[in-house]
Structure 1
């Protein structure tokens, strides 16, 4: 007869054997999902927002209009027939014809190119200049930061529209013989000169908040140079505010270009632009309101699309707003 103590031990079911090399959490459910970074989380959040898809779709359409206008309007946007002057919208001309007999629909489509090209190039230049100066000011500090900040304060004191009018009137007078490319370059330069301080301040504040992080201190202790620290560590972690502001700024610059062209100091005919169309059509707004309404509608839609996209990106990149 066996001992009761040994019988109880024998009756106990043996524990399942485990591999010596298996982790302690082998019995727990494992997830195959890889950890996401800031951009991954932002993209996951953006995909759930209808506002993002609506604004992104409209922006893609406007970009296609600017790149391939003939796909949307095969008609002539520059030359017209005087016999069709101020004709009403019809099957031949969906938006009617202006005072010179030009197809308003074709001009609205082709007008997207000048407005969007000026806005995008201005934003890229502003981000490049302002971002570089912000990195230098924030990383170097001291008298370099003080000097660049005071220079930015000087430009902050210039009213945007008034400053642009002064610059464009000085270098692009009414009797100027500048070419289309030169006039467009002057408009882009004026927008950059008056807008870079905002980008500089954004980048400077981001660098000041990041340059004392542990990974920056560790990289500096390991002997990493200034260029490597800026390009590999600071810049990738400071781009989120500039990405948001740059998206919103494209819409703002589209409106700014239209304002300057409407006032007669920006782009000029024969360049086709929404601002030029609104300026030309204001004299006939009672007879043919479509000359103002259609380019203004496209202008407002384009501006709102970029602003809505910027707001959606800002909410996705900021964890506090999720």
Structure 2
């Protein structure tokens, strides 16, 4: 209605301003467990330090020539007349009991130690996760049989069992894979228990009940719904176990049933140097320090991942 004032023209009412379109904002998707964990890990100094150490160790294992121009596999680089020589400009760690460059052997020893540790971790995680997934989902007789089998393996001391396997099949020609097989056979039950417990907890959740009601088969439920939700604790345990497997390989090599000459590993270097430790401690100290740092780095990484994936510990 127009506004009529005495003695003046009609004035139209002021129009209300058109509403502004809502400002465009970034789509906010609900953060997943892995996204939250990654954001949390990036703020943890322990995670960053352990990742840097592991990255250097991986470079040493894959491209040892980046760190040393001496190939310890070449017998011409060893000179008995310079055995147990102290560190110098050309030999940063000195020479071992056979006159070989200790720095080059320490660098090249990382390859077998990491190869055995990573391979054992992968195989143990795959076997334990698969058996635990099946046993936890089906339960009943399947769960009982699988649990009794794992209890048999748990009753065997790890080092003693691996020592028995290694000494029995030492001449089989498997090389370092014999160590991997021995440690895998004794290492998968731990992953089995973690996966089984996580699956039993997750299979009673609403999303599993809904998937079953919609006609999803056992394989789809296990691998599309249960496995992704039960994988976090397995990753944590596998990361921590990796350091333990590397230490176990060193122990087996020290006892004479692990890596065999002419291969190089830190455990074998420690075994060779322990006889002359009082006269020349450096050939034992340097590989032992590298072994300790490697095991500690993986344990630190596992602790950081565990704290990031467990909401109760944040």
Fold conserved between structures, TM > 0.5 = yes
For 1:214 and 1:166, locate their aligned partners in 2 and report how far apart those are by CA, in whole Å: 47
| 1:130-174 Cα shifts (integer Å, max 9, x gaps) | 1110001000100000010011111111111111111111111xx
| 1:250-271 Cα shifts (integer Å, max 9, x gaps) | 1110100000100111111111
For 2:19 and 2:91, locate their aligned partners in 1 and report how far apart those are by CA, in whole Å: 79
Equivalent in the alignment of 1:131: 129
Whether 2:214 is the aligned partner of 1:222: answer yes
- Secondary structure of 1:166's counterpart equals helix
Q: 1:51 aligns with which of 27, 46, 51?
A: 46
For 1:35 and 1:149, locate their aligned partners in 2 and report how far apart those are by CA, in whole Å: 37
Whether 2:108 is the aligned partner of 1:103: answer no
Q: Gaps (5+ residues) in structure 1?
A: 3-12
For 2:47 and 2:293, locate their aligned partners in 1 and report how far apart those are by CA, in whole Å: 14
Give matches, 1:1-322, under 5 Å.
Answer: 18=19, 33-78=28-73, 79=75, 80-172=78-170, 176=171, 178-179=172-173, 182-322=174-314
For 1:107 and 1:162, locate their aligned partners in 2 and report how far apart those are by CA, in whole Å: 28
Equivalent in the alignment of 2:11: none
- Count of residues in correspondence between the two structures: 302
The answer to whether the 8 Å contact 2:121/2:238 transfers is: yes
Equivalent in the alignment of 1:6: none
Moved more, 283-292 or 101-110: 283-292
**Kindly tell me: are residues 15 and 145 of structure 1, through their superposed partners in 2, closer, same or farther at Cα, counting changes over 3 Å?**
farther
The answer to whether the 8 Å contact 1:76/1:102 transfers is: no
| 1:246-299 Cα shifts (integer Å, max 9, x gaps) | 111111101000001001111111110000000000111112111010000000
Shift of residue 34 of structure 1? 3.8
For 2:37 and 2:261, locate their aligned partners in 1 and report how far apart those are by CA, in whole Å: 43
Shift of residue 98 of structure 1? 1.1
Shift of residue 35 of structure 1? 2.9
| 1:77-101 Cα shifts (integer Å, max 9, x gaps) | 1321222211111011100111211
Shift of residue 224 of structure 1? 1.2
For 1:239 and 1:14, locate their aligned partners in 2 and report how far apart those are by CA, in whole Å: 61
Q: State the TM-score, normalized to the length of structure 1.
A: 0.89
Q: Gaps (5+ residues) in structure 2?
A: 4-13
For 2:218 and 2:66, locate their aligned partners in 1 and report how far apart those are by CA, in whole Å: 49
For 1:118 and 1:279, locate their aligned partners in 2 and report how far apart those are by CA, in whole Å: 18
For 2:161 and 2:127, locate their aligned partners in 1 and report how far apart those are by CA, in whole Å: 18
For 2:241 and 2:16, locate their aligned partners in 1 and report how far apart those are by CA, in whole Å: 66
| 1:162-221 Cα shifts (integer Å, max 9, x gaps) | 11111111111xxx3x44xx1211111110111111110000000000111111111111
The answer to whether the 8 Å contact 1:62/1:112 transfers is: yes
For 2:143 and 2:97, locate their aligned partners in 1 and report how far apart those are by CA, in whole Å: 55
The answer to whether the 8 Å contact 1:118/1:254 transfers is: yes
For 2:167 and 2:128, locate their aligned partners in 1 and report how far apart those are by CA, in whole Å: 24
